[in-house]
Chain A
Amino acid sequence: MDSETKKYTISALVANKSGVLTRISGLFSRRGYNIESLTVCATEDPDLSRMTVILIGDEYMLYQMIRQMDKLEDVKKIGCANELDCVYRELLLAKVAATSDVRSQITLINEVYKAKVVDLSIDTMILELTGDPEKLDAYLKVIEPFGILEMQRTGVTVLARGRHTLKDRDCYGDHVN
C-alpha cells in the first residue's frame, strides 16, 4: 500500500437529510483525520446529496475512510475521483483592498486568469474566479500583495468526464482488497 501522502478526492451520494453530515464528519474526526475541504449540496434527485471530501493522507487512510463511509446506511454510492479522469472546479470570492491607483493592475491580472470583478467600492473590490483548485491557488498568490481583506472558497466539486456517473458505479463493497 502506498504510504505517500497525497490529496485524495472522495465523492459520495448520500441521503439528503439532517444528521448525515455529522455522521460522516464523525468518521474522520474519530480517526484524527482532517477534512481538507467539504462540499455538499442536493442533486437532481431530491432524496440525494452529493458530497465531495478532500482528504490529505496516504492510501491506508483513503481506503479506511471510503470503506467506513460505505458502511453507513446514509451513504448510497461512493468512489475516489483520483481513479478517474475528472473535471475539478471551485469558486473563489476574494475581497481585496483596491484603491484607484492599483485597480488597473488587478484588472490586468484578472484578464490573465479570467477572473471577474463582482463588486467595487471606493477602496475595495470583490473578485470572483472559478477553476480547478490549483488555478485558484495561483491566482491568490498574485493578488495577495494587494491585501486580501476576506475570502471564501466553496470547496471542490468534481464530476468524471464522459458517460461515467457516480450513481451508475458499482457498489464500493464489491471492490474487496
Chain B
Amino acid sequence: MKMKGADILINCLLEQGVDTIFGYPGGTVLDIYDALYRNGKIHHILTAHEQGAAHAADGYARVTGKVGVCFATSGPGATNLVTGIATAYMDSIPLVAITGNVGLNMLGRDSFQEVDIAGITMPITKHNFIVKDVNELADTIRKAFNIASSGRKGPVLIDILKNVQIAECDYQPAKPLPPKTIAVDEKRIAQAAQAVNESKKPLIIAGGGVVASRAFTQLKALSEKLDAPVTYTLMGKGALPDNDERNLGMLGMHGTVAAARALIASDCIIALGTRFSDRVALNRELFANGKKVIHVDVDNAEFNKNVAVTLAVLADAKAFIDAILPKLENKGGEWIKEAKEAGGKKDAIVNVRAYDILKAASELAPDDSPLITDVGQHQMWAAQQYPMNKPALFCSSGGLGTMGYGMGAAIGAAFGTGKLCVLVTGDGCFNMNMNELSTAVTEGVPLVILLMNNGVLGMVRQWQKIFYQHRFSQTTLNKKTDYVKFAESFGAKGIVIDKDDDAKAKLKEAFDYAKKNCEPVLVDCRISCDDNVLPMIKPGATYETQLRKMEDN
C-alpha cells in the first residue's frame, strides 16, 4: 500500500517489535512525530535533552536485550545524541538512533540546523545510513535493526532526510531479518576443552558478552561443571549472581582482592566476551604472564588486540559454553577452595560510608530492581558492594565512562523492566544531566536516586591524591545546591542522609515513597570527600601490586 515515508518508518519500527521510544521533536522530524501521533501504538518518552534520550534507549536495551530506539531532530538534536551513541558503542549496546535532516534540495548548503551527523557518528557507530530516497527507507530500517542486534551488538544511526519523510511509496510489511549467527568451530571447542582439562586452576572471566548473549545459566553451569571460580568485568556484573558461591567479585583496577589473587594463582584464563580493556588488563604484556588464555568472543578483531591469547574461539559465550560443557572435567574442589580463601569473598578492606548506604539500599530494593550507576567513585563502590543477584539489571557506562549517563539510563531501565530502579550517582555526575529528573517525574518513574554527595569530583580527586601530591585542581565543587529543594521544585521528593543518620531508616522512607507513589526520590547522601575506592591497581601495573590501603601507595 502507498504510504508516506514517516508512516513507513513507524510501521517498520512496529515490525521490529518497538513499543517504546525516547526522543525529542524538532523541525526536521515533524513528519515523523506526526506519524507517531496518528499511529498511536508506540509509547514515546519525551526527555529533557537528547542526550538523556540516547542514554535512556541504552538503559532500555541493557535491561531488555532488545534494540533501544531514540529520535532526535537534525543539527543540535543530532549532536546531542553523540555522547549517548558513543557510550553504547563502547559497551556494545544495540541501539538505533533515528535523526531527521534537511531535505535533499537543502543538503550541503549549511541550511538551518543542518549537520553531517552520519559523518560525525561514523567512528562511534557499527554502521550508519543517510536515507535520501523513500524507496530505500523500509529496507534500511530493517537492516539497521539487524546490524545493531547481530554479532557484537552496537549502535546504528539512520539519518532520514525531510523529503523522504514526506514522499510516498509502496510499503509491504516484512518480518525482521534473522540475526547473523556464527557457526562454532568444533575443532576449536575440542582444543579449548583439552586446554581447560589439562589446566589445574582455571579462572573464568565473564565480560559484557555473557550479558549480551544472555548466557547466564550457561555461565553458572560452566563454573559448576569445572568447580572453577568466576570473576567478572564491570560489564559482566550480574552475569553470575553476586551471591553465588563461586563468584569472586569484580576484576580490575578496583576489583576484589580475591579476584586479583585468583588471577595470579590461576594457570588458565577462560575469558568470555571480554576485551581485556586497560581497566582489567592494566598491564597487557604481563596480564597473562605465561598462563593459557582461551579467549571467546564474537568479534574477530578482539583476539590478540590487547592481550596475546593462546586460543581464540570465535563464538558467542552461550554457544561456546553449550558446545564445550559436555567435554569438561571437574577440578576436584581444591582450587575453588584456595581461590575463595585467598581474599575472603566480599573483602571490604576499608570501610566507607557509601558501603553502608549501598548495603542498606540493596537490602531494601527488590531483587529484580535494576541498578544504574553514573561514573566515578560511587560507580566502583556500587560495583564492589551492591550485589546483583539477577542478571541483566546492571547499567553502567563501562568503556566510555560517561558522567551524566545515569539519569537517562535509569529512565530507560524503568521502562524496560517496569520495576522500581535504583540509581547510584555522585554530585558531579548528577549535575551533568539532573534535568532528566523532570522526565522521571512526568513519566511517574519509581526511582530511588542515591546521590553520593561529597562535594568533590571524588575519583579525579583520588587520582590527584595518588599521582599529583594532593593538588586538588578544579575538583572541589563548592556548590550551594539544596538537593531536597531541587527535587521538590521538580515535583520529586527529596531526603537527606546526613553523616550520622540511620541510613537504613531514611532509605526505607525513600523506597516506600518511590514504590507507593511511583515517583522518583532524590536521596542526598552526605559522605566524606576523603573516602577512597580501594583496592586499587595503578594504570599499567600488575595484579601483584594491588593497593589495599592508601598508605601502601
Indicate with 1 or 0, residue by residue over A5-24, a CB within 8 angstroms of chain B CB atoms: 00000000000000100110
- Beta-carbon contact of B300 and A173 below 8 Å: yes
Binds B, one of A63-71, A117-125, A156-164: A63-71
B127: CB under 8 A from chain A? yes
- Beta-carbon contact of B312 and A26 below 8 Å: no
- Beta-carbon contact of A19 and B118 below 8 Å: yes
- Beta-carbon contact of A73 and B303 below 8 Å: no
- Beta-carbon contact of A177 and B303 below 8 Å: yes
A172 / chain B contacts, CB cutoff of 8 Å: 300
B301 / chain A contacts, CB cutoff of 8 Å: 64, 67-68, 70-71
A163, B506: Cα distance in complex, Å: 76
Q: Indicate which residue in B122, B299, B314 contacts A71 across the interface (CB closer than 8 Å).
A: B299
A67 / chain B contacts, CB cutoff of 8 Å: 300-301
- Beta-carbon contact of A1 and B308 below 8 Å: yes
A84: CB under 8 A from chain B? no
How far apart are B283's CB and chain A's nearest CB, in angstroms?
17
Q: Indicate which residue in A22, A26, A176 contacts B300 across the interface (CB closer than 8 Å).
A: A176
- Beta-carbon contact of A173 and B123 below 8 Å: no
A108: CB under 8 A from chain B? no
- Beta-carbon contact of B126 and A73 below 8 Å: yes
Q: Decide if the interface of chain A is mainly helix, strand, loop or mixed.
A: helix
Given contacts A71-B299, A73-B147, contact A177 B304 (CB under 8 A): yes
CB-CB contacts below 8 Å: B92-135 with A: 118-119, 122-123, 126-127, 130
B313: CB under 8 A from chain A? yes
A72: CB under 8 A from chain B? yes
B152 / chain A contacts, CB cutoff of 8 Å: 71
B305: CB under 8 A from chain A? yes
- Beta-carbon contact of B313 and A176 below 8 Å: yes
Given contacts A68-B301, A73-B127, A176-B185, contact A26 B308 (CB under 8 A): no
Given contacts A1-B308, A67-B300, A70-B301, contact A173 B314 (CB under 8 A): yes
CB-CB contacts below 8 Å: A130-177 with B: 172-173, 176-177
CB-CB contacts below 8 Å: A1-48 with B: 1, 19, 22-23, 26, 30
A70 / chain B contacts, CB cutoff of 8 Å: 300-301
- Beta-carbon contact of A176 and B122 below 8 Å: no
B130 / chain A contacts, CB cutoff of 8 Å: 19
- Beta-carbon contact of B312 and A177 below 8 Å: yes
B188: CB under 8 A from chain A? yes
A48, B147: Cα distance in complex, Å: 20
A63 / chain B contacts, CB cutoff of 8 Å: 304
A23 / chain B contacts, CB cutoff of 8 Å: 122
B308 / chain A contacts, CB cutoff of 8 Å: 1
CB-CB contacts below 8 Å: B514-538 with A: none
A144, B502: Cα distance in complex, Å: 85
- Beta-carbon contact of A176 and B127 below 8 Å: no
- Beta-carbon contact of B314 and A26 below 8 Å: no
A68 / chain B contacts, CB cutoff of 8 Å: 301
A173, B311: Cα distance in complex, Å: 15
How far apart are B119's CB and chain A's nearest CB, in angstroms?
7
CB-CB contacts below 8 Å: B185-215 with A: 185, 188
How far apart are B138's CB and chain A's nearest CB, in angstroms?
18
CB-CB contacts below 8 Å: B291-317 with A: 299-301, 303-305, 308-309, 311-314
A74, B118: Cα distance in complex, Å: 14
Least CB separation from B297: chain A residue: A176
A177 / chain B contacts, CB cutoff of 8 Å: 303-304, 309, 311-312
Least CB separation from B128: chain A residue: A19
Least CB separation from B313: chain A residue: A176
B118 / chain A contacts, CB cutoff of 8 Å: 19
- Beta-carbon contact of B123 and A30 below 8 Å: yes
Q: Indicate which residue in A1, A26, A64, A173 contacts B122 across the interface (CB closer than 8 Å).
A: A26
Q: Which of A64, A67, A70 has the largest number of chain B CB atoms within 10 A?
A: A67
Given contacts A26-B122, A73-B127, A73-B147, contact A176 B304 (CB under 8 A): no
- Beta-carbon contact of B303 and A176 below 8 Å: yes
A-side interface residues toward B, CB under 8 Å?
Answer: 1, 19, 22-23, 26, 30, 60, 63-64, 67-68, 70-74, 172-173, 176-177
Jot down 28 A-B pairs with beta carbons below 8 A, ordered by A.
A1-B304, A19-B118, A19-B122, A19-B130, A22-B119, A22-B122, A30-B123, A60-B304, A63-B304, A67-B300, A67-B301, A68-B301, A70-B300, A70-B301, A71-B126, A71-B152, A71-B300, A73-B126, A74-B127, A172-B300, A173-B300, A173-B314, A176-B312, A176-B313, A176-B314, A177-B304, A177-B309, A177-B312
> 10 tightest A-B contacts by CB?
A67-B301, A73-B127, A177-B312, A176-B314, A176-B312, A67-B300, A173-B300, A68-B301, A26-B123, A23-B122
Given A19-B118, A26-B122, A173-B300, 14 more pairs with CB closer than 8 A = A1-B308, A19-B119, A19-B122, A22-B119, A22-B122, A67-B300, A67-B301, A70-B300, A71-B126, A73-B126, A73-B127, A73-B147, A176-B185, A177-B304
